[in-house]
Structures are given as structure tokens and as C-alpha cells.
Amino acid sequence: MAILPIITAPDPRLKVTSEPVDQVDDGLRKLMDDMLETMYDAPGIGLAAVQVGVPKRVIVMDLAKEDEPPAPRFFVNPEISQHSEELATYEEGCLSVPDMYEEVERPARAHVTYLDYDGNPQSEDIEGMLATCLQHEMDHLNGVLFIDHLSKLKRDMIIRKLLKLRRQKETA
């Protein structure tokens, strides 16, 4: 397994639309294993392949709490077929927008289909943190970041802060 570098905003590689996977094979499982290790190392609760520079429709996630055993999950070619009108608000962060947190509103519940780690089709009703996190990750597959759900003023402020923090790190 390997820890891969995570791309941060405003990098144009985060804006591309990821391509569907045509086969869940050992090569793809190696990518998912590396993504999981990268996510645990960061640490984060979800990661989309595009965040490590691979524009494929692949997501890894683990929503287990610190006192619970690990519960890795893998979503290949996820699709939301239905979502609730009711919205839920969570304070979101993103490994590609480090150290910035803002509230985002999204559908509270959804029905999702995807391929799992073994390439088997799955179908599931989701809600709560799983619904929020999966929608955040699926946005990445379409080149969208959580800050794109904020006002242009807030988004520009966050990007300016990110660039300033990065400059400070580079000259430190």
C-alpha cells in the first residue's frame, strides 16, 4: 500500500469530471487500497480518486468513530437515483480545502447504486453522515468542491486564505 499526495484547491485537476470505471479488477482494488491508506493517514472520513490525481469514479470512506473498529467502504460508479426534498445541514471540511469548515445543505436522504470492492452491484438507502459524505464525494467526481455550494464571497475568501497559508508554509 502507498500514501498518495492529495491535491488541494485551487488546482484545475480538481475541476475535471471523472470517468466511469469499466471493470473492477486488481489494478482498481490496488488504487482503492492506496486511497484508503491515504485517507486514514490524512486523516479523513472519505476520499475521491480525483483528489489523488486519478479522474475515475471511485470513492473510499470510513465513518467509524474512534472507539469503533474500522469500517472501510468502497463506491465505484455511484449514482443517486432519488433523493429527499428534505435537506440536512452539516459543517463540512475537505482534504483538498485544508483547515476550512463551513455549513452545507444537501438532501437528507437518497437512494444510491454502486459497485462494491468486488465489483458486485449494490443498492442502498442512505441518510445522516453517510448521505452527506457520499454526496460530498460524488461532487468531487463531477469537479465540484463543497465551497462551490457557498456564496462567491465566502468561496473567494476561503481560496485567498488557502493561498496565503500555502505561501506562509513555502517561505517558512
Report the catalytic residues: 137
- The smaller minimum CB distance to ligand GNR, of residues 34 and 92, is found at 92
Number of residues that bind Ni ion (CB under 5 A): 1
* Interface pattern 63-92 for ligand GNR (x via CB under 6 A): ---------------------------x-x
SS3 for 5-32 is: CCCCCCCHHHHCCCECCCCCCHHHHHHH
55 touches ligand GNR (CB under 6 A): no
Stretch that binds Ni ion, among 62-70, 92-100, 111-119, 122-130 (CB under 5 A): 92-100
**Rounded-to-integer distance, Cα 94 and Cα 168, Å:** 20
SS3 content of the chain, % helix, strand, coil (to 5): 35, 30, 30
Position among 133, 138, 141, 162 found at the interface with ligand GNR (CB under 6 A):
133
If one counts every other C-beta atom within 10 angstroms of the C-beta of residue 61, the result is 24
Residue pair 84/108 in contact by the 8 Å Cβ criterion = yes
Single residue of 18, 38, 77, 132 touching ligand GNR by CB under 6 A = 132
Q: Give the C-alpha separation, 1 to 24, whole Å.
A: 18
Member of 94, 134, 138, 162 binding Ni ion (CB under 5 A): 94
By the criterion CB under 6 A, which residues form the site for ligand GNR?
44-48, 51, 90, 92-96, 132-133, 136-137, 140
